[in-house]
């Protein structure tokens, strides 16, 4: 009986650890301080805490409104926004960002009632499994999500390759 209780306690502890390990465990949005940083994958757009930002293939032809929502696309891990929290910005931040790079913009996310950062016209998102800088585990997920390289169109939805970031 004691062995069963210990085994149950260990499994419960591991489950709680896996649920709480994500910075976005229950967030549908996350504040953003976007900047480009040199990473092992290239000069990537990162947000708060140097976490990678991504674009979504379904937003390419029609970015308004953003296609990753909490109302649609419910998967085994919850809604799209539960897995891919929106990168949120303020109007004040947008003024400064657009002066730095005219490819920055924002779209009003009706579901969140907030501005969501765009780059090259596409809404940006975080990935709930990226918990620290230089985590890029969302790149290429479902052939629908892409990291954002500076001065390159964010359309490599099957993931970046080593050739993409090397210059010969």
Mean pLDDT of the 130-136 span? 87
Tens of pLDDT along 34-92? 999 998 888 999 998 899 999 998 888 776 788 887 766 565 556 888 889 999 999 98
pTM over 0.85: no
How would residue 165 be classed by pLDDT, with cut points 50, 70 and 90?
A: very low
- In-domain check, residue 106: yes
Encoded tokens for 135: 């985590």
User: How far is residue 43's CA from residue 78's CA, in Å, rounded to a whole number?
Assistant: 31
Beta bridge partners of 125: 54, 86
115 belongs to a structural domain: yes
- Identify whether 11 is part of a domain: no
| C-alpha to C-alpha distance for 164 and 29, rounded to whole angstroms | 29
pLDDT at 16: 31
Residue 14 within a domain: no
Total count of domains within the chain: 1
Contact between residue 118 and residue 26 where contact means Cβ atoms under 8 Å apart:
no
Q: What is the pLDDT of residue 78?
A: 64
Q: Give the residue numbers spanning the domain of 121.
A: 25-160
């Amino acid at each position: 009986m004691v062995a069963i209780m210990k085994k149950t306690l260990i499994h419960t502890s591991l489950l709680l650890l896996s649920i709480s390990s994500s910075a976005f465990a229950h967030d549908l949005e996350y504040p953003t301080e976007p900047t480009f940083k040199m990473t092992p994958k290239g000069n990537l757009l990162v947000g708060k805490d140097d976490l990678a930002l991504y674009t979504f293939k379904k937003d390419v032809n029609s970015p308004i409104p953003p296609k990753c929502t909490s109302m649609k696309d419910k998967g085994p891990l919850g809604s799209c926004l539960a897995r891919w929290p929106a990168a949120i910005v303020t109007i004040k931040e947008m003024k400064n960002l657009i002066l730095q790079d005219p490819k920055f913009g924002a779209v009003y996310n009706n579901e969140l009632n907030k501005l969501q950062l765009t780059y090259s016209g596409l809404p940006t998102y975080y990935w709930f499994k990226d918990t620290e800088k230089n985590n890029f585990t969302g790149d290429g997920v479902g052939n629908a999500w892409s990291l954002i390289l500076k001065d390159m169109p964010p359309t490599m939805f099957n993931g970046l390759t080593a050739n993409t970031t090397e210059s010969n």
